[in-house]
Structure 1
Amino acid sequence: MTLVTIAPIVRAISVSMTSAEGVALLTSPEAPSVTMLAVSGMWAFSLLLGRVRGPALRSPFVTHALASSDVPRATSFRGPLLGSGTMVVALTTAVGVLIGASLVSTGHSTPSDAGLFVLASTCVGVISSIAWLAGQAMPRAAALISPVVFALGAVTSTVPEMQPFTPWGWVGLAYPVAAATGTLAPILAVTATAAAAAPALMSRLSITLLAAQAARWAAATSYATGMELAAAATVYQAAPKVGRHLRAVRPALPSPVVFLLRDAVGAARTPVRLAAAALALAAAAALFTLSLVPEWPDWALGAVAGVILFAGLGPFTDGIRHAASVASDLPLYGISDARLLTYHTLFPVFATIATLVVTTAACALLIGHAIPAILGSLALGILAVIARIGNALKGPLPPALLSPIPTPMGDLGAAARLTWAMDGVLLTALAGASAALVLQSPVLLLAVGIALTSLTIRRWRHRA
């Protein structure tokens, strides 16, 4: 991305953060606690990310050549580590600059306090990069440490007495509107210690792990280049290992129950993936409920809830993808294609409705708006399932999109291909924003629902 394309995005974010709603969020009493939770979540996510795709990674051939040589890992893989770490540090620093500049421009902070927070944000980026490397070097330990880090962050954000004794607590105390800002010394010490541990972590990288990660990343990027994002995500899908002794198909039961039980048992064979999906659905429901609170940015939270909901439905819709893949072939089970797709839709629909209703009702008891939140989340959940069906029926990239689209602003062919590849995410985000605004105008949600349903029906009729 060039500076010409980045500048409008930065300007839009700056305007939103200096608006009345943005300033109210940044200056709320909960802002330091949310910052601590976000920092701990970022470090926990970095540990898990390193297990599947670490920062010290090259192409498969170069990885094999360097990893099997006598050159130390700290030398041969230093370049990719520095490049990946620089991007992470730049991202966290940019977030700190935007928050600090917004608070300074509105008179809620001094430039010195904002500068200290920017420095703390840079330290967060450095530690995140080392945590990413630690996840790559010690995948088993990272799987155990990651939930502990996030759990401690959640506890620290609710127990103020723990803030002076945790790294994420030091970042929260450095928030520009916080009372204490003398916590940079310990966070700087942790940052220096983490950076000094990088060579030792790189020496633990085995050739087997590096080769496996390089091969999977090369395959994923190859699929992504061809706009096959679902296939790219499948490369990192965990293989089922748990519950393989459980009987998934019971022909004696009625057909809808047979397929419902089959999809449920199949999803349970990857319990971590299923648990992450359930948490994503719950998080989407909580965000959507918050979008109905007048003090929060309604449409933005609704759009984010839609995106998270679409992503979380992945493990629940494996049956839908299977039905879509065989829909154009001879019937496998002696039933029609439409009935096969309908039966495989039962499990994601029931799981989505149950998770959204329970989570939305629990959140609505705290902040109100129970009936609109439940109805809106149900509508969003159904539209997300429809988007998943349409995404499964999409098929390969149409050749017509490979031709250039010349305009006075340049070639929009790449934008058209990206829009086609991410249409499910974009439409679900639009559905989430529309559902959050349903109290003001239900017409927009109805229009999005009609457009999404029509697109899915058209793809079903024109399936290859």
Structure 2
Amino acid sequence: MRERAFRVYAVAMVCAVAVVPLARAVWLSLAGAGGLHLAAAATPATVVIAIACLWSGALIAGGMRGPALLRPFPTWVRASSDRSRVRDFGPATLRGGAVVTAATTVTAAAIATAFISNGLAAPLAAVPIAGAGALIGVLASVAWLAGQSLGASSRAAGTGAMIAAAGVVAALASGSIPQSAAPAATVAAWAALPLPTLLAGLAVLAVALTGCVPWLLNRLEPALLVRQAVRADAASGYAEVFELGGALSLYRAVPSAGRRVRAVGRHRMLAVAFARRDAVGTLRSPWRLAAGVAGLAAAGVSVLAAAGFAVAAADAAGGVAAGVGGGAAWPLGALAGVLAYAAFGSFTDGVRHAADAAETTALYGVGDGTLMMLHAIFPLVAGVGILVLVAIVAALVLSGAVPGAGIAGMIGHGVAVAAGSAAAYAAPAALGVLTLAVRVADARKGPMPVAMLTPIPTEAGDLGALRRVVWAVDALLLAILAGVGAAVLPVAPAISVVAVIAIVAVAARRGPRVARE
């Protein structure tokens, strides 16, 4: 009972300190002029793509952790019996679907509020928009269960079909509204659509697919249910002690290709041997590699656009301070840092192995520091190469882009500005180097120190829980710092130096911590 009460208290503290201020900032942005970006001409296509990504992501996530989930022992008992899956796993599925539906409904209601606050829609417009969000959440919940029930081939086929259909619908939506249309015209075009018919279609589809839920539940295999339950229970144990890296590692893709390709060969140069080993190991998880490349591509475009905004602000105001704080440089840089950090996970298995090997007897005849540097060669070359290459291609393609509404138009304009500045091309390379340093620091992190469990009593309550949360997500905070430092590198190298010092200082204090000779 006391353990459960502490969990509730810790969650309440985190929500009060971190979630509530963030939600308030998002609310103020949507209720203000920032909500006008949602009424851009590109918004219909963006919404279609976002919905397709949500449904596809739910389908894929079901194969790793579905909604029909209980503790390991009850799962084994119920899955191995002749009892109905609907009776045993239906309530858990309903709870998971309710969470997803609530999230999509709140998101849709926030978008409707942005339209209403900016005078672009009537107050009653929030009802059908929120209803559409709820139906989208119901369909996402069914897709989540389908991903758990169906096989890998069915998940791949369903994901491909949804992405293809979303591309067609997005192209039609983009062609229906002129790109120069004002926000009011865009909302008017949305209002001109047969919204009741669309809602009725979504409702019919939701009812039809919800009727398939009992069939999907009865198809669940006992071995799959037990495997997912054990993995989820282990991940929960890691998360309770703030070992988020350990929890995520349980869901890392298992190598499935390239088994006949030799990862270890004879090379005169030790660096080439380690780079080959890491490259082959990465290629053995092709889907994970593809996701990493896509993430690096998005990060490269984002950081180049951020650097472009920083350069433009500095040139317009004639000062470094204006360039550092100008436009969208900071948020785009932070976004690029998060994307790059997530994407680098596909390339840094060798770095994590080097950190683990440092805990034991030397296996390769080199010191701990040398081993880490050898394993950092491949992610450095591959990561920086992809970031720079994507940035160059984006600059060539978008060099003539004009300012546009919406996030896509904003990023395109930032890339076009960066294309005319040679210094801006240093931002993607700097992002790759800094993000790799963050990955090294995170790999050397180790378990949470016992001192972190010490309470910090204050008038506002015990801040020890907040300190532990910060310790758990410090890699994400360093990634944001790396993204911002790379974005403002063309106008404020001093901030980039501060980012380097902070990341190196954190990495140096971690890990075993003496190099072997």
TM-score normalised per structure 2: 0.82
Partner of 2:450 in structure 1? 399
Local SS of the residue matching 1:65: helix
Q: 1:356 aligns with which of 373, 380, 387?
A: 387
Q: How does 1:168-317 map to 2 (within 5 A)?
A: 177=190, 179-182=192-195, 183-292=198-307, 294=309, 297-317=328-348
Q: Does the 8 Å contact 2:36/2:118 carry over to 1?
A: no
Tell me how far apart the structure 2 counterparts of residues 101 and 85 of structure 1 sit (CA, whole Å): 24
After superposition, the Cα gap between the structure-2 partners of 1:318 and 1:218, relative to the gap in structure 1 and judged at 3 Å, is: same
Partner of 2:90 in structure 1? 78
Partner of 2:466 in structure 1? 415
Local SS of the residue matching 1:53: coil
Q: Does the 8 Å contact 1:114/1:176 carry over to 2?
A: no
Partner of 1:430 in structure 2? 481
- State the Cα deviation string for residues 193-223 of structure 1 (Å, max 9, x = none): 1222211111111111111110111111112
Code of the aligned partner of 1:86: A
- State the Cα deviation string for residues 275-332 of structure 1 (Å, max 9, x = none): 2211111122223334356597432232122112111111211111111112244332
User: 1:161 offset after TM fit, Å?
Assistant: 8.7
- State the Cα deviation string for residues 240-293 of structure 1 (Å, max 9, x = none): 232122111122331111111111011111112112211111122223334356
After superposition, the Cα gap between the structure-2 partners of 1:47 and 1:420, relative to the gap in structure 1 and judged at 3 Å, is: same
- State the Cα deviation string for residues 21-55 of structure 1 (Å, max 9, x = none): x2331121001111111000000000000000001
2:428 is equivalent to residue 377 of structure 1: yes
Tell me how far apart the structure 1 counterparts of residues 169 and 190 of structure 2 sit (CA, whole Å): 18
After superposition, the Cα gap between the structure-2 partners of 1:328 and 1:208, relative to the gap in structure 1 and judged at 3 Å, is: closer
User: 1:146 offset after TM fit, Å?
Assistant: 1.1
2:160 is equivalent to residue 151 of structure 1: no
Partner of 1:117 in structure 2? 129
Aligned residues: 454
Tell me how far apart the structure 2 counterparts of residues 293 and 188 of structure 1 sit (CA, whole Å): 44
Q: Does the 8 Å contact 2:391/2:425 carry over to 1?
A: yes
Tell me how far apart the structure 2 counterparts of residues 161 and 381 of structure 1 sit (CA, whole Å): 34
Q: Which runs of 5+ in 2 are unaligned?
A: 1-10, 177-185, 310-325, 399-414
Tell me how far apart the structure 2 counterparts of residues 248 and 76 of structure 1 sit (CA, whole Å): 46
2:139 is equivalent to residue 133 of structure 1: no
Code of the aligned partner of 1:273: R
Code of the aligned partner of 2:301: A
Tell me how far apart the structure 1 counterparts of residues 171 and 26 of structure 2 sit (CA, whole Å): 28
Q: Does the 8 Å contact 1:57/1:81 carry over to 2?
A: yes
383-392 or 179-188, larger mean C-alpha shift = 179-188
Q: Does the 8 Å contact 1:249/1:262 carry over to 2?
A: yes
Tell me how far apart the structure 1 counterparts of residues 354 and 278 of structure 2 sit (CA, whole Å): 12
User: 1:372 offset after TM fit, Å?
Assistant: 4.7
2:119 is equivalent to residue 107 of structure 1: yes
Tell me how far apart the structure 2 counterparts of residues 393 and 130 of structure 1 sit (CA, whole Å): 40
Code of the aligned partner of 1:260: A
Tell me how far apart the structure 2 counterparts of residues 198 and 10 of structure 1 sit (CA, whole Å): 33
After superposition, the Cα gap between the structure-2 partners of 1:436 and 1:17, relative to the gap in structure 1 and judged at 3 Å, is: farther
Q: Does the 8 Å contact 1:260/1:344 carry over to 2?
A: yes
Q: Does the 8 Å contact 2:452/2:464 carry over to 1?
A: yes
- State the Cα deviation string for residues 123-162 of structure 1 (Å, max 9, x = none): 1111000000000010321122113312331332123399
Tell me how far apart the structure 2 counterparts of residues 120 and 436 of structure 1 sit (CA, whole Å): 37
Q: 1:345 aligns with which of 368, 376, 380?
A: 376
Partner of 1:458 in structure 2? 509
Code of the aligned partner of 2:253: A
- State the Cα deviation string for residues 49-103 of structure 1 (Å, max 9, x = none): 0000001110011111222233211111111111111111111111111111111
Tell me how far apart the structure 1 counterparts of residues 188 and 92 of structure 2 sit (CA, whole Å): 31
Code of the aligned partner of 2:169: T
Code of the aligned partner of 2:165: L
- State the Cα deviation string for residues 327-384 of structure 1 (Å, max 9, x = none): 2443322222222111110000011111101111222231411345431121111111
TM-score normalised per structure 1: 0.91
Q: Does the 8 Å contact 1:259/1:343 carry over to 2?
A: yes
Higher relative contact order, structure no. (Cα contacts within 8 Å, ≥ 6 residues apart):
2
Tell me how far apart the structure 2 counterparts of residues 343 and 7 of structure 1 sit (CA, whole Å): 43
Local SS of the residue matching 2:203: helix
Tell me how far apart the structure 2 counterparts of residues 450 and 24 of structure 1 sit (CA, whole Å): 39
Q: Which runs of 5+ in 1 are unaligned?
A: 164-172
Q: Does the 8 Å contact 1:156/1:162 carry over to 2?
A: no
Backbone CA RMSD of aligned residues: 2.4
Tell me how far apart the structure 2 counterparts of residues 276 and 432 of structure 1 sit (CA, whole Å): 19
Local SS of the residue matching 1:69: coil
Local SS of the residue matching 1:315: coil
